[in-house]
Structure 1
Amino acid sequence: MLGDKGYDSNPHCKELRKRRILPVISRKGAPNTKGLDKLRNVVEQTFALLHQFKRLAVRWERRTELHDACVSLACGLICWRPLKRHRS
C-alpha cells in the first residue's frame, strides 16, 4: 500500500503488516516516493467527484447497504459522463 508521509508511524506500519500488507510509505524528512504524487492526485480527484453528490458529501443513510448503493451509483455516473461526451 502506498502511503503519504502523514502515515509514517510505527502503529500504522504494524497494523498493515499484521494484515499482510506491505507498506510503501515515504519517511518524514526524506524525498517522496516516486510516482506517489500522481496516484494521490487521482484519488483526491475521485473523492472530489464523489462529493459532488450531496448524499455522499453528507451521509443521510444510516444503513450501510444504502450508502454503498449510492456510492456505486455515483461511480457509475462518474464513469458514464466521459463516455457520453465522446459518443455525441
Structure 2
Amino acid sequence: PRPRRRPGKLHADKAYDHRRCRRACQRRGIQPRIARRGVEDSQRLGCHRWVVERTFAWLSRMRRLTTRYERRVDIHYAFTLLGCSLVCLNKLQGRF
C-alpha cells in the first residue's frame, strides 16, 4: 500500500469551531480553515465543501453503498471503488 500522507489544510464549517479542533489540527501540522461562529460567512468554505457533498450524493444513489450490507471491509471497499468508477464513467460518457 501507498504511504499515508497528511493533508496540508482542513476545510470545515462552523460546527467545528472549537479550540480543541483547531489545536488538534495544529498538533498534526494541518492548517485549519474553519469558519468562525458569528464572524465568518460559511459561503467562503462552500466551494470546497460542495465538491465533497456532491460526490457523496452521487455515491448515495447506489443503494448498496448507502446501506452497508457487507460485514467485510474488503468487499465494501471493492463496491466503493466500483461505485466511484461508475460515477466517473457516467461523467465521461460522450466526451470521447
> Which sections of structure 2, spanning at least 5 residues, go unmatched?
1-9
Higher helix share: 1
TM-score, normalised to structure 2's length?
0.78
Q: 2:69 matched to which residue of 1?
A: 60
Identity of aligned residues (%): 37
Aligned Cα RMSD in Å?
A: 1.7
Deviation at 1:39, TM superposition (A): 1.6
- Runs of 4 or more, structure 1, over 2 Å off, are 31-35
The amino acid that maps onto 1:38 is C
In structure 2, distance between residues paired with 1:82 and 1:8: 35
User: How many aligned residue pairs are there?
Assistant: 87
The amino acid that maps onto 1:85 is G
The amino acid that maps onto 2:25 is L
> Which sections of structure 1, spanning at least 5 residues, go unmatched?
none
Q: Aligned runs of 1:37-56 on 2, under 5 Å? A: 37-56=46-65
Secondary structure of residue in 1 paired with 2:30:
coil
